[in-house]
Structure 1
Amino acid sequence: MKIERLIKMANDISDFFNADSDKEVAAEGVKMHLLRAWEPRMREAIITYAEQDGSGLSDLAKTAVSRLPH
């Protein structure tokens, strides 16, 4: 899967959880969704992207991705 697609998906998930006023809860929601719904290769690709650039990710997506285990 192309990284552009993963970025869009991560940002869309973050948009959904961003409705929560508690951004810690929102970040945890995004992280848990990525752990449950994304296969390991997808998670590894978005982690690598976030560590190397990350400019396309929303702030909430960056926070959630940074909390994913390697």
Structure 2
Amino acid sequence: MDNQNLIDMANRIGDFFDSMPDREEALAGIADHIRRFWEPRMRRALLAALDEPDASGIEMSAIVREALIKHREQLTPAAPATV
């Protein structure tokens, strides 16, 4: 999974919601969009990129970073079931 592409996609989502006048609604909107439309491994990779930023690549926007931190629990996929 290309983390730079994930960050770029998340930043584009953030750009859309950043224009909203209510900051809390914007943060919730970013998190809800990522939770509903991104598969679990994409969310895991994005959260890992939040924890270990790569200085050589695309920087995560402030609003996306804030949304991920604030809504991390709901964005974290459940652990896969083991058989």
- The answer, yes or no, to whether TM exceeds 0.5 is yes
Determine the C-alpha separation between the residues in 2 that align with 1:52 and 1:4.
12
Aligned length: 70
State the partner residue of 2:65. 62
Determine the C-alpha separation between the residues in 1 that align with 2:52 and 2:33.
22
In structure 2, stretches of 5+ residues that fail to align are 77-83
Could you say which structure has the larger radius of gyration? 2
Please give the TM-score of this superposition, normalised by the length of structure 2. 0.77
| Residues 54 and 62 in structure 1, CA contact (< 8 A), matched pair in contact too | no
Runs ≥4 residues deviating over 2 A: none
State the partner residue of 1:37. 37
Mapping of residues 1-70 of structure 1, within 5 Å:
1-53=1-53, 56-66=59-69, 67-69=71-73, 70=76
Structure in which a larger fraction of residues adopt helix: 1
User: Percent of counterpart pairs with the same letter?
Assistant: 36
In structure 1, stretches of 5+ residues that fail to align are none
